[in-house]
């Protein structure tokens, strides 16, 4: 192995650790942020700031932007599904759902992706291992709901929205793979953030959130943290490891985010940390792991008759 390859491996590992830590910590930052800012405006301003910074950097570096209106619309729609839909619902629910609990529900997103991919034409069938993972994962969600039913960690409204958020994220992720848009990857990510941020900001304004907007040091601090480390650094590191590692290996960050979120929520916000939460966490992540690995290891190519 050459010196350059060793340096690339070290950079990839460092980037992976950044994704695990920063994206795991965003649940805590969001939970704190919505206690200081109205939720829709909080999320909208975050993505408008991050998108503007990324677009400005792409312009400065002379990176290519989408060459057609059709591509621009498709890229923007991905941003609406992922950021305004998936992340927007997470931010909204974080007003009354504990950060660790929210992270465990979001970790079910790969399960939704597996189900949705099966519904697509000419898609691969899920193996027995994959179906087992689906059942285990959703049983973990059920256990998590019952474990928190008598606490303030979650309620029925939170459960519904937390199940819809990962679904929208999964739909957006699958849709993004259905086309090859022109423009550089960094510029396209900036456009996605601007689209999602704009919709969230408009929703916040239409709900009258501007009247309740007040600037505090804690609120501004979490907004800056999410903009820089959650959006810009986190996305950049994830893109980097996708270029260096197989997608299945890079995607294992999803197994580490919930433990980080649960630990931080317990240490900083005194959120509950019970044996039921530990058990449901293990069950959910085991189910996700089985589904993810089954798609890449046990799936056999279909044979033509």
- Average pLDDT over the chain, rounded to an integer: 82
pLDDT tens sequence across 46-55: 999 999 999 9
The pair of structure tokens assigned to 214 is 């007040």
d(C-alpha 164, C-alpha 90), whole Å: 9
d(C-alpha 29, C-alpha 43), whole Å: 11
Question: What are the domain boundaries of the chain?
Answer: 7-297
pLDDT confidence of residue 246: 64
d(C-alpha 21, C-alpha 181), whole Å: 30
The pair of structure tokens assigned to 66 is 């989408």
pLDDT tens sequence across 285-302: 887 778 767 754 444 454
Residue written as tokens 């805590």? 28
pTM for the whole thing?
0.81
Q: How confident is the model at residue 263 (pLDDT cuts 50, 70, 90)?
A: confident
d(C-alpha 199, C-alpha 76), whole Å: 10
């Amino acid at each position: 192995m050459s010196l350059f390859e060793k340096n690339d491996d070290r950079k990839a590992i460092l980037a992976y650790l950044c994704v695990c830590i920063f994206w795991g910590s965003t649940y805590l930052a969001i939970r704190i942020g919505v206690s200081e800012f109205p939720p829709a405006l909080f999320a909208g301003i975050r993505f408008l700031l991050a998108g503007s910074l990324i677009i400005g950097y792409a312009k400065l570096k002379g990176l290519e932007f989408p060459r057609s209106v059709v591509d621009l619309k498709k890229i923007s729609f991905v941003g609406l599904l992922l950021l305004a839909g998936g992340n927007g619902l997470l931010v909204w629910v974080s007003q009354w759902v504990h950060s660790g609990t929210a992270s465990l529900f979001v970790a079910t997103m790969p399960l939704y992706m597996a189900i949705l991919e099966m519904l697509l034409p000419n898609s691969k069938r899920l193996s027995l291992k994959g179906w087992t993972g689906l059942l285990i994962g959703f049983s973990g969600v059920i256990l998590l709901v019952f474990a928190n039913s008598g606490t303030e960690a979650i309620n029925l409204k939170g459960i519904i929205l937390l199940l819809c958020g990962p679904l929208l994220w999964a739909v957006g992720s699958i849709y993004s793979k259905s086309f090859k848009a022109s423009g550089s990857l960094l510029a396209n990510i900036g456009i996605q953030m601007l689209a999602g941020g704009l919709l969230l900001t408009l929703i916040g304004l239409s709900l009258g959130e501007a009247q309740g907007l007040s600037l505090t040091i804690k609120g501004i601090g979490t907004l800056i943290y999410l903009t820089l480390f959650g959006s810009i650094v986190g996305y950049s590191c994830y893109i980097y490891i996708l270029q260096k590692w197989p997608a299945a290996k890079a995607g294992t960050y999803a197994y580490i985010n919930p433990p980080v979120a649960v630990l931080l929520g317990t240490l900083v916000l005194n959120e509950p940390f019970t044996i039921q939460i530990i058990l449901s966490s293990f069950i959910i992540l085991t189910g996700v792991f089985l589904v993810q690995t089954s798609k890449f290891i046990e799936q056999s190519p279909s044979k033509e008759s």
